[in-house]
Chains A and B, each alone.
Chain A
Amino acid sequence: MKKYLTGKMGVPMKTKEISRAPVSQQAHVIQKPEHPEYIGGSITVEINEKKVSVPLGTTILEACRQNQVYVPTLCHHDDLCVAGVCRICVVDVEGMRTLQAACAFPITAPIKIRTSTPMVRKARKHIIDLLLSEHYGECYSCFRNNNCELQALAKEYGVDHYNFGHVEKQRYEIDSSSYSVVRDMDKCILCKRCVRTCIDLQEVGVLEAIDRGYKTHIGTFGDKPLAEVICINCGQCINRCPTGALRANDPRDEIWEAIDNPQKHVVVQTAPSPRAAIGEEFGIEPGHSFTGEMNTALRRIGFDRVFDTNFTADLTIMEEGTELLIRLYKALVKKDTSVVIPQFTSCSPGWVKYLEHFYPEFIPNLSSAKSPQQMFGALIKTYYAKKHNIDPSNIVSVAVMPCSAKKFECNRPEMTSSGFKDVDYGLTTRELAQMIKEAGIYLPEMPKSHFDDPFGDASGAGLIFGATGGVMEAALRTVIELVTGEKVENVFDNMNIMPVRGFEGIKYAELPITKVGPIPKLLVHVVPNWDWLKGATLKIAVAHGTANAKRVMDSIKAGGKFSLCHFIEFMACPGGCIGGGGQPIPTSAEIRRKRAQAIYAEDAALDVRKSHENTHVLKLYEEFLTYGPCGHTAHKLLHTHYTKRGKFIS
């Protein structure tokens, strides 16, 4: 598989030409050279009187970390390029008049570094004092209490009072206009991580520093509320904010109210990624799934039914896969010019909104299939309500998601195909962990339990939706088998489709279809004949993070390699849903990798690992969606349309 503009651990590596970040924030990214000897080898420096050897160009911070010397940081984030603005990481470099920011200083000479001189300690203490003097609010009334980098630093440096006073009045209005992201600029310390996330990592470009000097603040275009600008709600800024200045729009109060109301039948669906990450909120190392424990906790909190979103992920594969086959037939065989390929996945609401804003002319390429969350919502208030004789107006439907954009998605006006708001609340992994704690539950010690029927059994294919490449892998497991009749495990070892796994920013693969049929009954009617697929080569691509999505879209626009693809998976967040904006903080490439591993391990242990083998899904088509995938009922409930938003803000 060919690499395409990707960096280490899935963080897009950018050259100046293709990045649109301000130069001050991106020209000095120091990449660790793969073969340091080729560009000058290593260099010996002294850190606190100890001689160490590091590759030329290593930053002082990295050199310290590699040698177990701790240097505090605040504006630095491993996912982001260098800023050097908070100055907390200053160190003494012999012979230099001033202290140097360790995060931004590339080593090119045999320097002598000292990380704890009186001057360094005093400067750091002053910086913390200054930041605290401007930091409005009390720690105990902040959602980042105990998970705040500023608070941790204050503790580290033994701050016991405010040396330079403390701001006593709120200066900024909290912006809670967005369904997804809430901005409280009184807690902002101007580290610009959100700016670098938004402009550089995601290339969305909603946040920037506005004004200058003392008046500097992070703002949007025209300082407008977030809901009025082109924010895609990915929430990546939340994950990288060191303080509580950015958070998700929290629906916990409303959900508790519904739970406490005996009239309400409160159901919850949980996406694949929260279970792989929620342990982190309880002090567990990343990489452990708590599926069964979470189910028990949800029941003890008081949810009436606990369902698995993976079920509708399987359903999504059936619908989206069928849609793809129909599209390909119409476009390639019937030469119907009104049908466009490649087909884009539509399960990432951040990606969908990104496309609506930045590439609205490509909306026809988006699969009309709803996301698993919204399919679930539509089924609960129709099929499930009818089956269990519950008045849908009394059902409160909650979705536990790794995502902040899901909050926006469930509030889209078109998401009411059940006649009601299909999903009432999107709840992030973080918020669920909070509810579990509020209920006095320690998650890791919960006994395990299974999901409830009728949506309780899902395949491993639905589960791996959580990691980048997962939707594609799930789709391929089904498409290969249904079209060729060949068992996936005979084509790919252990059913693991490795070419679409991993954290490369953009993945590309070609799959020759050598034989066709027999086509199963469920699908055989969707196109009049199947012979055209014989000998064809299915071209697919996977992109995660909107910066990578942009690369792919620009290639398609220019008629490049990706325009020849048939099907492309897009995820707004780096790493896919496991790196979503609703996941536990902090995030890093390492953490995302471990979460993905947890998901793949859980998949490998399941008996049913293909969506079309999910017997409950097949039963649903028999009982309710009787016209089959992409049929009449399915179309009414499980498919949607999109809005051309564009970029212009009036």
Chain B
Amino acid sequence: MTEMLAAIWRYRFFIFSSVRNDFRARFARSSLGAIWMILQPLAQVAIYALVLAQVLGSRLPGIDNKYAYVIYLTSGILAWSLFVELLSRCMTIFVDNGNLLKKVVFPRICLPLILAGSALINNLLLLLATLGVFLIVGHPIDSSVLWLLLLVPLTLAFSLGLGLILGTLNVFVRDVAQVMNVVLQLWFWLTPVVYMPTIVPMQFQQALNANPMYWIVSSYQSVLLFHTAPDAGHLTLIAVISLGLLAVALLLFRRSSAEMVDVL
């Protein structure tokens, strides 16, 4: 463990410069550059808002703003996009960097850290855009937004833990990433991002409560939309699960590392 931390410290410049290059490369060939990182999720919000606001009704209980649904949607997508970006990139992290891993020796722990770094920057930009949208629609931003300082790291840890487990398995069984792409779509619709949890029939409420992404998304929604503190029980559970996933990921990674390059 200390060895790993020492390696990270020694390669800190590489990690930093990789995140920067990741960012730079996106600016390089498109005229709008980084704007696309914000535009895509915002476009998604706009589409859902247009289509679903009519179906679901635009008013939310307890919120006196005609754009309440847009705020609800944006809060959920802020959480979901961080999760999905990290998870899908982690799943193919070793396969994508196969050539590098075969040719150059460097601490492999750098790779997920680079991913986490660039996903965080993307998410930060999206957060700024989201807050911008709130200002435009006249939704107040208060101190409860500070909860994000806890929520973002928790989402990060959860996605990274799950992603690295799947990423390691995906090196040996490439179907994992394919299957997960389908699972992720399903998962999105099983999580109350575009709809309210109240519309879920009673018999499925139990299942909904077992979805960790529901805990995360609903925490974002409480903080950003309702200005209330998130459910402490959910947060604790998420923290425990994330740590567990990260521990399993590390163990799996250690055990597999001798054979990983053989099959890349």
> Are chains A and B native binding partners rather than an unrelated pairing?
no
Measured CB to CB, the residues of B under 8 A from A are: none
Interface residues of A (CB under 8 A from B): none
